[in-house]
Amino acid sequence: MIKRRRVAVIGAGFMGSMHAAIFANMVGCELAAIVDPNLELAGAVAAKAPGCKVYAGHEALLTAERDLDLVSICTPDNLHLAPAVAVAKAGINIFVEKPISSTVEDAQAIIAACDAAKVKLGIGYLLRFDPRYAAAKELMISGKIGEPIHIYARRNSARTEGPKRYGGKLPLALHVTVHDVDMVLWMLDGQRPVSVYAQQTNRLLGASGTQDSLAAIVRFSGGTVVNFESAWSLPAGARHMIDARMELIGTEGSFEVQCGDSGLYYASNETSREIDTQHWPVVNGRLDGDLARQLGGLLAWLDGADMPIASGRDALRSLELTLAMMQSAQSGEIVRLA
pLDDT at 238: 81
What is the pLDDT at residue 167? 63
On average, the pLDDT of the chain sits at: 95
pLDDT > 90? residue 27:
yes
What is the pLDDT at residue 242? Answer: 87
Mean pLDDT confidence for 118-130: 98
Cis peptide before 99 (omega within 30 of 0): yes
Contact 235, 158 (CB under 8 A): yes
User: Percentage of the chain surpassing pLDDT 90?
Assistant: 83
More confident residue, 199 or 161: 199
SS3 of residue 191 by DSSP:
coil
Task: Write the single-letter amino acid at 104.
Answer: V
What is the spatial distance between Cα 95 and Cα 164, in angstroms, rounded to a whole number?
A: 26
Instruction: Tell me the pLDDT tens digit for each residue of 66-111.
Output: 899 999 999 999 999 999 999 999 999 999 999 999 999 999 999 9
pLDDT of residue 333: 98
What predicted TM-score, i.e. pTM, was given to this entire model? 0.95
| CA distance linking residue 236 with residue 234, whole number of Å | 7
Q: Give the residue with greater pLDDT, 218 vs 338.
A: 218
pLDDT in tens, 143-157: 999 999 999 999 999
pLDDT digits (tens, 9 = 90+) for 305-316: 999 999 999 999
Between 273 and 217, residue with greater pLDDT: 217
How confident is the model at residue 2, as a pLDDT?
Answer: 59
Q: What is the pLDDT of residue 181?
A: 98
For 144-195, write each residue's pLDDT tens digit: 999 999 999 999 998 887 777 776 677 999 999 999 999 999 999 999 999 9
- Cβ atoms of 266 and 191 within 8 Å: the answer is no
CA gap 281, 283 in Å, rounded: 6
Find, among 118, 115, 119, 121, the residue nearest to 97 by Cα. 121
Among the listed residues 236, 216, 234, the one whose alpha carbon sits nearest the alpha carbon of residue 226: 216
pLDDT at 270 over 90: no
The total of other beta-carbon atoms located within 10 Å of residue 128's CB is 22
The CATH superfamily holding the domain 127-275+312-336 is Dihydrodipicolinate Reductase; domain 2 (3.30.360.10)
pLDDT at 1 over 70: no
CATH number of the domain at 5-124, out of 3.10.290.10, 3.40.50.360, 3.90.1150.10, 3.40.50.720?
3.40.50.720
Question: Looking at the chain, which residues constitute the CATH 3.30.360.10 domain(s)?
Answer: 127-275+312-336
140-154 CB burial, b ≥16 within 10 A, e <16: beeeebeebeebbbb
**Residue 262 pLDDT grade (very low, low, confident, very high; cuts 50, 70, 90):** confident
- Paired sense of beta strands 242-250 and 254-258, if any: antiparallel
Domain with CATH 3.40.50.720 in the chain: 5-124
DSSP states along 130-171 = SHHHHHHHHHHHHTSS-SEEEEEEEEEEETTSHHHHHTTSS-
